[in-house]
Structures are given as structure tokens and as C-alpha cells.
A and B are shown apart, each in its own frame.
Chain A
């Protein structure tokens, strides 16, 4: 029973990370129909920069902020300089973002090398604490991570549901032409949303670098998990990303704990099953 609960907690931790990574990805897709294959690279960039900032300033929250801002800036630059040029040609955008992710990954490897980085935690989070009832220790940072993901999720929901930007995003998800007809500067809105997606990815990167660690390859790992999460949850839906992350995170950890050889098969089976019964994803809208 204790083992089961620990595995569940691990699953929730992973789900929180997956959600943080996938939320920006699905936000960008929802508004712009852009599949940003450089999303993982943005995440890794955020992680590296966050590491540097935290090391220099010695203040962990500043690292999260720094990593998030760096990735937000890079994301805005990508949309402004390259992807925005062929808005509407989704296939070309996707291919261009693949090229960008190859370049970014290689340049980061050049600068930061092939070694593994872990962000030093503040003392308050560095240890573990005893879980009530179970009497088992569990790393504090992992619980912080779960709380962080919940806070980000709620904030994101509030931004989309209650703010002007959110109203514009929702309107744009339904009908992008209408936004243009209403006189909005769509190009600017797209850059802002790309920056927002980058911010989420960058912060996820720093959090991943704190709770786990980052290295070359982390970018692809999170890009792929984001893909699977949004395929399962439904493209463009933040709620879907949360649900998808929960399903995939838990499935992966249960798989690892109870059937280590075939953990990946569970993830895959969930994806195929969802595609078979609901091709648009659990909370997604129909493609047509």
C-alpha cells in the first residue's frame, strides 16, 4: 500500500512536469495551429539559463523567472523572425520549427556541453519530509512541483477565462479570421502568445532541472511527452493537457513500477485507444 502511494505520488510529480511542458505547447497550437517542434528546445534553454541565474544570484525563484523569460524571449523571436512569415502554412511552420530545434539543440550542446545540470535548491526545499500517516520520507521539491503546476494551471485558466488577452485567445481559437476582421493586430497577438508558451516551457525547464536534472536529450524527451499528452488530452485545450498529463504521468510510473519492461507500451496503448475512439483527443474539438 505504501509502495502504491509512493508510485502514485511519483506519477503525480511526473504529471505536473508534463503538464507544465505541454501547457505552452497546446496554448500555441490552440490559437495558431502551429505545432512548435522547438518547444522542447525552449524548455531546455530555460533550464540552462535558470541554472546560470540561480547559480549567479543564489536565489532559486529568480532562476525560475530568468529561465522562463529567456525562453519567452526566444519563443517570441522564433515567431517574429521565422514562423510568423508563413502563418497559415502549418506544415511549413512545423518543418521550420524542426530545423530550429535541431539548430538550438546543437548550439546548446556546444555552449553547455554534454554534462548533466541540476539547479541547487534553497535549503528549505533541499531535504525531504515525512509524509503524514505513511511515515515515509518524500522530497519536498516534488511536492512543491505539484503545487507549482496546480498554481500555473489555475493562473493560466484565469488568464484565459477572465482577462482581455484570454478573451482574444478564445476568440482566436474559434475563428482567427474574425480577430483580423475586428481589427486586432494578429501578428502581434501571435508573438505574445508564443512568448507566453515560451515562458511556460522555460519555467518547466528550470523546474525539471531542479526536481530531476537536465542534459542534451531532455528537450526531445519533453517534446515527445508534450506530443503524447496533447494527442491524448486534445490539441489546444489546457484542460485536456492537464488530463492528458495526469493519465500519461500515472501510466508511466505505474508501468515502471509494475511492468518495467513494457512501461512505454502503456503510454502507447493509451494513445492508440484514444485515437481509435476519439481522434480529436479526450477534451479536444473535432478536427473538421
Chain B
């Protein structure tokens, strides 16, 4: 519950922000935050840094594009109440399959294997025209109208984003306290011991990835509505690394870190142009990432936490 309260300031945004800040800054940050949350979940509780989260999000996005309204002549349209559950199922399934492939890999091995899977999917979407429309991908994707409210309007869309963000945070925090969630953490700490108390580890690892796929999928659906298009570049190395950067900058130890990192990333991405050459954004983000990794391995969330605890301990000295 407490962690969802963190999103409260985001809920107040509509009272004073214009549509640009509402959607381009806060909306986009929350969407990227949800996808990064799926990475943070795997990193914090399974102990695996996965590079395939943009891929799982992309699977949901492509499902929405293929079965929803689009302006390319690929796919078949179905009502949104069929498409949305289908997209979630596909994303969860993609997570499970990736988990099955990577189940025996930990640490740096898992990084390499999930990265290879992510890039293989990118090449696949680029070459396949029947389902992914290759290089061009899908455009003209529209968010549906539900009960007379169009989700393409900034305010309803933003409210949906914040609702989904809060639900995802609550899901993660509830799930890690469930028997399966505890077992996932036990596998992180001592996989052989989990076997020794009679629990096979493969289903546990696969369900952790599947759960991550579910979270990434919710972000993926919102993202494809936000972008209104999807192509192989949406699942390419750029987004893959962006999601990692967000999660690392925010901090891999706590689910909230994903949203902190996403907000920092979007603010940098949007306003860096004011003080550096737009072209050099990658150098800037690379330097920020390097500084965080070298100076604050627990990310902005870790920094904020240590500042807060210092403030709580010695309120008087902090004034100096």
C-alpha cells in the first residue's frame, strides 16, 4: 500500500499541468516506469537483470496493433475487450518462454542471453511481414473508446496510466509476499536449497519471468496507444537499453526506483536540448548512467533513502 502512495503526487498533476506535461512528461514517464518495473522486479527478487523487457512489452504492443485498428493492411480487427486480454496473455506467455530459455542462467550469463533473445526478436520483426509488417511496422493505432470516453483524450488517458501504474505496483508488492513470491526470492538466495526442500526451481523461475511479462505487457499496451505506432525499432536495441538505463538510474533494489528513473530519464530526454546539443543526448545519458553506477549503485532511490535516513537521524546537523 505504502509504495502506491508514492504515486500520489502523479495523481495531483492534472490539477495544475497542461496537456504537454500531462502526457508527454508524466504520462510517458509512468509508461516507461511500468516497463522498467518489470525489469526491477526480476532484478530485485529473482536476482536477474533481464534485457528482454522491451521485448515482452513489444509483444503486447504488436498484439494490440495486429488485432486493433491500424492504417496498414495487416492484421484483423477485433473488439478491444478481446484484444486487451489477448495482448496480456501473449506478453505473459512471451515472458514464460524467455524464462524457460534463460532458466539456468544467472548474473552476467542471464544478461547476455536475454539480450540475445531481445535482439533476435528485433531482427525477426524486421524480416517478418505477415505478422509484424517488417521494417515499417504498424501505424495509426488508436486507443479505444470505452463507455463514451475516448482514451485518446489526454486526461482520461493519463488517469488510465496512473491507475495501471498503481495496480502494477500493488501487484508486485502483493506478489512478492505470496508463497510463490517468497519462493522466487528463495531461488535468488539459494536455488539448491529450494530443491532440497522439495520445490523444483524451473516452474518458479518461469513464473517470475511470466509475471514480469504481465507487468511489461501492461506497459506495452499503454505505450503503443501513446506512440500510436509500433515497428521493429520499438523493440530494438535503443528501447532495450533505455529500459535498462531507467531501471539502473532509479535503483534496482526497489520497485519504486523504476518510476523515479523513468521520470529522470524523460525530463533529461525532453529538456537536455536546452543546455546541450540535441545530438549529444546519448553522451549525456551515458555519463549520467556511468556516474550513477560508479557513485550510487542503488540508484536515485537508494540516494534518496540514505538522505532521508540521515535527515531523520540528525535533523539539526542537516541544517549546516
* Interface residues in chain A, defined as those with a beta carbon under 8 Å from any beta carbon in chain B: 33, 35, 82, 85, 90-92, 94-96, 98-100, 102-103, 105-107, 109-110, 220, 224, 227-228, 230-231, 235, 261-265, 267-268, 271-272, 275-276, 279, 287
Cβ of B248: which chain A residues have Cβ within 8 Å of it?
Answer: 95
A90-B107, A91-B107, A95-B248 are contacts. A82–B128 as well, Cβ < 8 Å? no
Task: State how many residues of chain B have any CB contact under 8 Å with chain A.
Answer: 37
Closest A residue to B104 by beta carbon equals: A279
Q: Which residue of B lies closest to A279 (CB)?
A: B104
Nearest-neighbour CB distance to chain A for B181, whole angstroms, equals: 22
Question: Which B residues contact A (CB, under 8 angstroms)?
Answer: 49, 101-102, 104-109, 111-113, 115-117, 119-120, 123-124, 127-128, 237, 241, 244, 248, 279-280, 282-283, 285-287, 289-290, 293-294, 297
How long is the Cα–Cα vector from A276 to B97 in the complex, in angstroms? Answer: 13
User: 9 nearest interchain CB pairs?
Assistant: A102-B286, A103-B286, A106-B282, A264-B123, A99-B290, A99-B289, A268-B120, A106-B283, A279-B104
Least Cβ distance of A257 to chain B in Å?
15
Contacts of B116 in A (CB 8 A): 224, 227-228, 231, 268, 271
- How many residue-residue contacts, CB under 8 A, span A and B? 98
Give the contacting residue for B108; candidates A82, A85, A94, A106; CB below 8 A. A94
A92 with B104: CB separation less than 8 A? no
Asked if residues B290 and A96 are in contact (CB atoms below 8 Å), the reply is yes
Residue of A nearest to B128 (CB): A261
Q: A91-B49, A92-B297, A98-B244 are in contact. Are A275 and B111 (CB under 8 A)?
A: no
- Contact between B294 and A106 (Cβ–Cβ < 8 Å)? no
On whether A265 and B107 interact (CB within 8 A), knowing A98-B244, A228-B116, A231-B112, the answer reads no
Chain A residue nearest to B282 (CB atoms) is: A106
B282, A105: Cβ atoms closer than 8 Å: yes
Q: Which residues of A contact B113 (CB under 8 A)?
A: 231, 271, 275
Q: Residues of A contacting B108 with CB < 8 Å?
A: 33, 35, 90-91, 94
Q: What is the minimal beta-carbon distance from A194 to any residue of chain B, in angstroms? A: 16
Tell me the bound Cα distance from A174 to B124 in angstroms.
38
| A110→B280 contact, CB < 8 A | yes
Q: Are A35 and B112 in contact (CB under 8 A)?
A: yes
Instruction: For the complex, give the distance between the alpha carbons of A264 and B124 in Å.
Output: 7
Q: Which of A103, A220, A267 has the most CB atoms of chain B within a 10 A radius of its CB?
A: A103
B127 and A102 form a contact (CB under 8 A):
no
Inter-chain contacts of B49 with A (CB < 8 A):
91, 95
Closest chain-B Cβ to A224's Cβ sits at a distance in Å of: 5
Known: A85-B294, A98-B241. A272 touches B101 (CB 8 A): yes
B279 contacts A110, C-beta separation under 8 Å? yes
Chain B residues, CB < 8 A from A92: 293, 297
Bound form: Cα–Cα A225–B243 in Å = 22
Would you give 28 A-B contacts (Cβ < 8 Å), ordered by A?
A: A82-B294, A90-B107, A91-B107, A95-B49, A95-B248, A96-B290, A96-B293, A99-B286, A102-B241, A102-B285, A103-B283, A103-B286, A106-B286, A227-B112, A227-B115, A228-B116, A231-B112, A231-B113, A263-B127, A264-B120, A264-B127, A265-B124, A268-B116, A268-B120, A271-B120, A272-B101, A275-B101, A275-B104
Q: How far is the CA of A80 from the CA of B282 in the complex (A)?
A: 23
* Shortest Cβ distance from A268 into B: residue: B120
Besides A267-B120, A287-B109, 7 more A-B contacts (Cβ < 8 Å) are A35-B111, A82-B290, A99-B290, A231-B113, A231-B116, A265-B124, A271-B120
Q: Are A96 and B294 in contact (CB under 8 A)?
A: yes
A35 to B113, CA, bound (A): 12
User: Could you tell me if B280 and A106 are in contact, using CB atoms closer than 8 angstroms?
Assistant: yes
A94-B111 contact given A103-B286, A224-B116, A268-B120, CB 8 Å threshold: yes
- Give every chain A residue within 8 A of B123 (Cβ-Cβ): 264
Nearest Cβ on chain B to A25's Cβ, whole angstroms: 10
Please, how many angstroms separate the alpha-carbon atoms of A54 and B271 in the complex? Answer: 41
